[in-house]
């Protein structure tokens, strides 16, 4: 098993990529700590981890609140004695996120509090735990829109994921000699609730899919497999990367219909 004897924290574990990664990590031998503010979804994900033969706990924590993140990391070490993998996956895409003229300051601030400050806080309190464990792997969920502008305006989200990408590169450089690897996961458009609530008509779906050379949305399970690679020792010489799992969307220029 690729994560045997590893302890892994996954934020945003109540659904989507976080849930599928938690299940896969459990199957691969990790002790999984599922973190979210959606307690019902988080507990449901934990039951799915256990049903698949994995082991873990659920911890309620708002990653935009320093005290809650610090307490979460303390609980991880108290429960399992160490931290080896930190998957900073939690994030939001606000329904009122639009272009610069239409996006409110409140939506901008909320998006950055969760998507950027949240990753910062998880690293602030997680990295000392990784040091105590002798090193480990951090995976930060960015997005293909950190490299490309979004076809549908979502300025706060796009800017926040660009910040996650640049933060990842600097963290990787700073901590490379400490046996701590830091990589940015950049998914393409996925068939998840987060995206499908916006692409709620065939026309909207087709407008996005015209950009994807593979011609389909990705699945959360496919992203989870990429996270497994970055979390495991198979990626021992990979750090500071922008790990694209995007169906080719960043590889080709496609004229929108």
Give the pLDDT confidence of 207-233 residue by residue, as tens digits: 778 888 998 999 999 999 999 999 999
pLDDT for res 252: 82
Q: What is the pLDDT of residue 209?
A: 83
**Window from 31-45, 105-119, 216-230, 241-255 with minimum mean pLDDT:** 241-255
Q: What is the mean pLDDT of the chain?
A: 94
Give the 3-state secondary structure of residue 46: helix
Percent of the chain with pLDDT over 90: 85
The pTM (predicted TM-score) of the whole model is 0.95
Confidence check: pLDDT of 7 > 90: yes
- Beta strand 55-60 with 180-187 is unpaired
Which of the two residues, 195 and 89, has the higher pLDDT score? Answer: 89
Give me the residue spans of the domains in the chain. 7-243
Q: Dump pLDDT digits (tens) for 49-61.
A: 999 999 999 999 9
152 confidence band (pLDDT: 50, 70, 90): confident
The Cα-based distances of 80 to 8, 9, 150, 167, 232 in angstroms read: 10, 11, 41, 28, 18
Q: Does 113 have pLDDT greater than 60?
A: yes
Catalytic residue, chosen from 80, 157, 229, 253, is 157
Which among 40, 94, 42 is positioned nearest to 72, based on CA atoms?
42
Q: With b meaning 16 or more CB within 10 Å and e meaning fewer, what string describes 99-115?
A: eeeebeeebbebbbbbb
Sheet with 242-245, strands from edge to edge, namely: 55-60, 31-36, 7-11, 85-88, 136-141, 180-187, 242-245
The closest alpha carbon to 187, from 137, 254, 243, belongs to 243
Coil, helix or strand for 60? Answer: strand
Which tens digit of pLDDT belongs to each residue from 170-199? Answer: 999 999 999 999 999 999 988 877 676 667
Instruction: Provide the residue count of the chain.
Output: 257
Respond yes or no: is residue 157 known to be catalytic.
yes
Q: In the structure, what pLDDT confidence band is assigned to residue 149 with cuts at 50, 70 and 90?
A: confident
- Write down the CATH number for the domain with range 7-243: 3.40.50.720
Band of pLDDT at residue 65, cut at 50, 70 and 90: very high
Place of tokens 């924590």: 61
């Amino acid at each position: 098993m690729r994560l045997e004897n590893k302890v892994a924290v996954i934020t945003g574990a109540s659904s989507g990529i976080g849930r599928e990664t938690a299940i896969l990590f459990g199957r691969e031998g990790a002790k999984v700590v599922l973190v979210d503010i959606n307690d019902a979804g988080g507990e449901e994900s934990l039951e799915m981890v256990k049903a698949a033969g994995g082991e873990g706990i659920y911890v309620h924590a708002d990653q935009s609140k320093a005290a809650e993140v610090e307490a979460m990391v303390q609980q991880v070490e108290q429960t399992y004695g160490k931290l080896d993998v930190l998957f900073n996956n939690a994030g939001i895409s606000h329904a009122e996120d639009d272009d610069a003229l239409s996006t409110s300051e409140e939506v901008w601030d909320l998006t950055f509090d969760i998507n950027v400050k949240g990753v910062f806080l998880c690293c602030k309190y997680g990295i000392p735990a990784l040091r105590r464990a002798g090193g480990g792997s951090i995976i930060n969920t960015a997005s293909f829109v950190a490299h490309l502008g979004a076809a549908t305006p979502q300025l706060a989200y796009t800017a926040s994921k660009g910040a996650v990408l640049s933060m990842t590169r600097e963290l990787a450089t700073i901590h490379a000699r400490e046996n701590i690897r830091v990589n940015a996961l950049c998914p393409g458009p996925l068939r998840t609730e987060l995206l499908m609530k916006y692409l709620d008509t065939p026309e909207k779906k087709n407008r996005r899919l015209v950009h994807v050379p593979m011609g389909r949305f990705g699945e959360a399970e496919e992203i989870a497999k990429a996270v497994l690679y970055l979390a495991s020792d198979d990626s021992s010489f990979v750090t500071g990367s922008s790990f694209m799992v995007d169906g080719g969307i960043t590889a080709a220029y496609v004229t929108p219909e």
